[in-house]
A and B are shown apart, each in its own frame.
Chain A
């Protein structure tokens, strides 16, 4: 049992604190309304600190280390996240389940203004160590990039980033088990080296990214590609978005076939929608992606023209509501089908996230999921619950 608990802890550990897309339209219009970076996540700006204080039950100074370490106007901004979690996991037959607890995240962020709109951003901390190479892989820098911003310290601007980061695509939910993250082209730790250009305006934003496989460490995904994503805000309470992502996976040399290189490709089209119902303070977020895979132009099977190009679909609908001023409830459904030709291959789930913002720095989160395959006809159901304690430095 001990071995299983350790393994389970490793399996679900290493979360990452990102932004709350649940607040876009309901609390602010864009990611840059609260964050320094155009993709959201990481260090908060002045308005972000104000929101963090405003939605917490007991308030308290929201700045990094309560404002005791850095002044307000210097070139250096810092941030950080500590996170621990525990919960209940169903992992097998009807009676197979386990409790677990583990440290989830320890990361520090730094943003240094270099002048003339240039700045450097980096995130570093602990990561799950690579087996057989533990000592060299316990710590890492998940993100590090140079950023140029056309209008310094303004929300609406053009941004250019060069370095290691996650391409902007889709709604960018913080909860990485959500289908549109897990199976939607932006899974946990799939940051790559690349370049991106973003333009954020009052009515719209558009992001373009090109990325390549990380050759400096063993990455989660071995892919080169590009992504574009845009959102148009019809009104302050309604937005529509769309995008496309292409990945060419470098699957290495295929030893059997006289060392020929082998590749597979993946193409995604995404559509998103956000509607904020002001009267009841409810935000509805929807993302759906259509996926077309090509399993190798060198696939050796003669019938690969049909079977080797599966077409799939993945999507989430999430309803987010503030209960009072410091509780946030997300209730969502997800659908994922990796190959529409196969009956009962699809996964459907109900996701629940319940956030309690206690102080400006402390948050408790309850995550839960119940999942069916083929509505119960395609395999075993799965479920988990997890309670997180999150401390923002």
Chain B
């Protein structure tokens, strides 16, 4: 009976892997298949969505960029903390409109240096192309929610 269950689980996993309407290109980090016309990525390009669906689950664990550890003074466990970290960072963490020049995007896609410094993040579990693409689109779209205008 359990042989059948294993086969069913395998079939379920493979079918789940291939389902979905939004598909992303791992060379350009662009996505298609969403929206009414299927010609774009309709995920919200907002700080809230980027934090809750990408940064918090992947980066804000106990050993890294949560408030609990505050590694390198970045914390992505709440929208407020993400905003504070990226605005206060004395780096070019996010440059609205220019993902290629933004540290946040580059740490996700860069090749690790030969001396082991500056590794690609997160180095325990690489991000899926679709999540890197979301970060890139959010930055290129102006990094909505990040710039404090008050």
Q: Which residues of A are interface residues toward B (Cβ below 8 A)?
A: 1, 3-5, 7-8, 10-14, 89, 91-93, 96, 98, 128, 130-133, 182-183, 187-190, 217-222, 249-256, 258, 262, 264, 275, 284, 293, 295-296, 299-301, 303-304, 306-308, 310, 313, 317, 333, 335, 337-348, 371, 373-375, 378-382, 384
Contact = CB atoms under 8 A, between A and B. Distances in A.
B38 interface: no
Nearest to B10: A333
Interface of B: 2, 6, 9, 13-14, 16-24, 26, 31, 33-35, 42-46, 48-49, 51-53, 57, 60-64, 66-73, 77-81, 83, 111-112, 115-117, 119-120, 123-132, 144-145, 147-150
B49 A307 contact: yes
Given A255-B80, A293-B52, A343 B69 contact: no
A92 B80 contact: no
Given A262-B80, A303-B42, A343 B19 contact: yes
Given A251-B51, A379-B127, A130 B24 contact: no
Contacts of B57: 183, 338
B49 A91 contact: no
Contacts of A317: 6, 9
Contacts of A91: 112, 119-120, 123-124
A4 B62 CA distance: 18
B48 A348 contact: no
Given A262-B80, A301-B45, A304-B44, A340 B20 contact: yes
Given A92-B120, A293-B53, A295-B48, A371 B125 contact: yes
A296 B52 contact: yes
A131 B49 CA distance: 26
A200 to B, nearest CB: 27
22 contacts: A1-B117, A10-B71, A89-B124, A96-B111, A131-B69, A131-B72, A220-B61, A220-B66, A251-B52, A254-B83, A255-B150, A300-B48, A303-B42, A307-B44, A338-B53, A339-B130, A341-B21, A342-B31, A373-B128, A374-B17, A378-B24, A384-B124
Given A91-B120, A252-B81, A308 B34 contact: no
A342 B48 contact: no
Contacts of B22: 341-343
B120 A378 contact: no
B130 A345 contact: yes
A11 B23 contact: no
A245 to B, nearest CB: 15
B140 to A, nearest CB: 16
B128 A374 contact: yes
Contacts of B70: 130-133, 218
B53 A339 contact: yes
Contacts of A253: 80
A93 B63 contact: no
A11 B70 CA distance: 12
B124 to A, nearest CB: 6
- Name which of A98, A295, A375 has the most chain B CB atoms within 10 A of its CB: A295
Given A11-B64, A255-B80, A374-B17, A128 B69 contact: yes
Nearest to A308: B44
Nearest to A137: B68
A301 B80 contact: no
A128 B62 contact: yes
A11 B63 contact: yes
A196 to B, nearest CB: 21
Given A128-B63, A219-B67, A255 B83 contact: yes
A96 B21 contact: no
Given A293-B53, A307-B42, A343-B22, A382 B126 contact: yes
B2 A284 contact: yes
Contacts of B116: 1, 3-5, 98
A306 B42 contact: yes
B128 A340 contact: no
Contacts of A14: 62-63
B93 to A, nearest CB: 16
B69 A346 contact: no
